[in-house]
Structure 1
Amino acid sequence: MKYVIINGSPRRKNTWKMVEQAKKNLNGEFEEIHLMKEKIPLCNGCFKCIVEGEERCPHRDIIQPIVDKMKDADGIIIACPVYAMNVTALLKNFLDHTAYFYHRPEFFTKKALVVVSTAGAGQKDVAKYIDETLRHWGVNKVYKITYACGGKDSLDVKNINEVSQKFARDVESGKLHNPKFGDIVFFNVWKAMAFSKDPIKADREFWFNNDLASHDFAPEVKLNIAKRLFSKVMFFILKRVMK
């Protein structure tokens, strides 16, 4: 198995210790990306990645190699401490650069592990935000490890082991889970936008060139009957709304 680790912390203390503990339960190769070292310029909000295509991002030379490593991996690990009750600026800047995945999701066959630590509070909200972002990217299943260390160099080893072992088994199984109803809604929102009267060109090309426009969800992920029907109904409604 191949895992890529996106480290959103500017240092290697509690959050990174949690990652190192989790790695002990994962069998495979690891690619570590420490965002502090990548020196990614601030996203300038030009919208080129969304409107014209991600290849038009002015920082593509830095962002694309990271994205390629995520696409090549079997499992994605995102690690981040809580800074001011949110993700670090390092991670937020990277996620801002990948905003086009909200319109054009690509990670339907991937599993992810989110690792968040805090000295005080906010760890569950930060993990939830990263989880929601990954699900908008299309990620099939997200596991979360959170820990409030109280400012001390300590670990909840039992919880880290339990969650990371579940993550490892899931990645190795190759099984793809049925998406949540909310994920199906967003899939159809962006799909319907590709059918709208005046669609974003990059979106329309993505949905049709990748044969997503003709499916109720990503073709690799098999929906049960209820969710397949739900997807069809949602698309019918959204397509009419966006005409």
Structure 2
Amino acid sequence: MNYVVINGSPRKKNTWKMVKQAELNLKGNFEEIQLIKERIPLCNGCFKCIMEGEDECPHFDKIKPIMDKIRAADGIIIASPVYAMNVTALLKNFFDHTAYLYHRPEFFTKKALVVVSTAGAGQKDVAKYIDETLRHWGINKVYKITYACGGKDSIDEDNINKISKKFASDVESGKLHSPKFGDVLFYNVWRAMALSKDPIEADRKYWTETDLVNHDFAPEVKLNIVKKSFSKIMFFIFKKVMK
């Protein structure tokens, strides 16, 4: 198995210790990306990645190598300490550069492990934010490890081992999980937008060239009859609304 690790912390303290403990339970190769060393310029909100395509981002040369490593990985690990009740600026800036994935999700067969530490509070909310971001990327399943160290130089090895073993087993199984209803809903929002009267050209091109526009969800991921019906109804409604 191949894993890519994206460390949003500018330091290698408790959060990084948690990552390294988790790695002990994963069999394979690790590509570790320290965002502090990537020196990604601040996202300037130009909307080019969304409106014209991600290759038009002025920082594409910085972002593409990271995205290619994610595409090549079987599992993704994203780590961040809590800074001012949110992710670090390093990780938020990276996420901002992937805003186009909200319109054009692609990682439907990937699974992720989120690792968050805090000296005080906010760890569950921060992990939830990362989870939501990854689900908009299309990520199939997200596991979360959170820990409040109380300002001490410590980690919860037992919990890390428990969750990381579940993550490893899931990645190795190759099994794909049924998406949540919210994920199906957003899938159909962007699918319908790609067929609207005046679509974003980058969206139209992606959804038609991948043929996702003709599927109730990513074809690798199976939907039960309820979710398949839900998808068809949502797509029908959104197409009517967006005409």
> Any residues of structure 2 matched to 1:211-230 within 5 Å, and which?
211-230=211-230
| Cα distance, 1:175 vs structure 2 | 0.2
Query: Which residue does 2:22 correspond to in 1?
Result: 22
Give the 5 Å matches for 1:67-146. 67-146=67-146
The structural deviation recorded for 1:155 is 1.0
**Within 5 A, what are the aligned runs for 1:7-86?**
7-86=7-86
Q: Which amino acid aligns with 1:153?
A: D
State the AA in 1 paired with 2:49: C
Cα distance between partner residues in 1 of 2:239 and 2:4 = 37
Task: Provide the rounded CA distance (Å) in 1 between the counterparts of 2:11 and 2:108.
Answer: 31
Distance in 2, matches of 1:95 and 1:201, equals 22
Give the count of matched residue pairs: 243
Name stretches of at least 5 consecutive residues in structure 1 with no aligned partner. none
For residue 91 of structure 2, what is the amino acid of its counterpart? L
1:3 partner amino acid: Y
Separation (CA, whole Å) in 2 of partners of 1:229 and 1:23: 40
Instruction: Report SS of the residue matched to 2:144.
Output: strand
SS in 1 for 2:46: coil
Aligned-partner SS, 2:166:
helix
How many Å separate the matches in 1 of 2:223 and 2:8?
34
Q: Which residue type is aligned with residue 52 of structure 1? A: E
Q: Distance in 2 between matches of 1:206 and 1:176?
A: 23
Say if 2:180 is the partner of 1:180: yes
Deviation string for 1:189-241 (max 9, x for gaps)? 00010011100000000000001000000011011111101100010011101
CA distance, structure 1, for counterparts of residue 81 and residue 192 of structure 2: 36
Q: Displacement, 1:34?
A: 0.3
Q: Deviations over 1:163-184 (max 9, x none)?
A: 0000000000000000000000
Determine the C-alpha separation between the residues in 2 that align with 1:80 and 1:159: 17
| RMSD, matched Cα | 0.4
User: 2:241 maps to which residue?
Assistant: 241
CA distance in 2, matches of 1:128, 1:145: 11
- What percent identity do the matched residue pairs reach? 79
Output aligned runs, 1:156-167, within 5 Å.
156-167=156-167
Secondary structure of 1:78's aligned partner: strand
Distance 1:65 1:211 in 2: 25
SS at match of 1:26: coil
Which 5+ residue runs of structure 2 have no aligned equivalent?
none
Question: TM-score by structure 2 length?
Answer: 1.00
Q: Distance in 2 between matches of 1:167 and 1:63?
A: 26
Give the ranges of 4+ consecutive aligned residues of structure 1 lying more than 6 Å apart after TM superposition: none
Aligned to 1:6: 6
Deviation at 1:161, TM superposition (A): 0.4
- SS in structure 2 of the partner of residue 133 of structure 1: helix
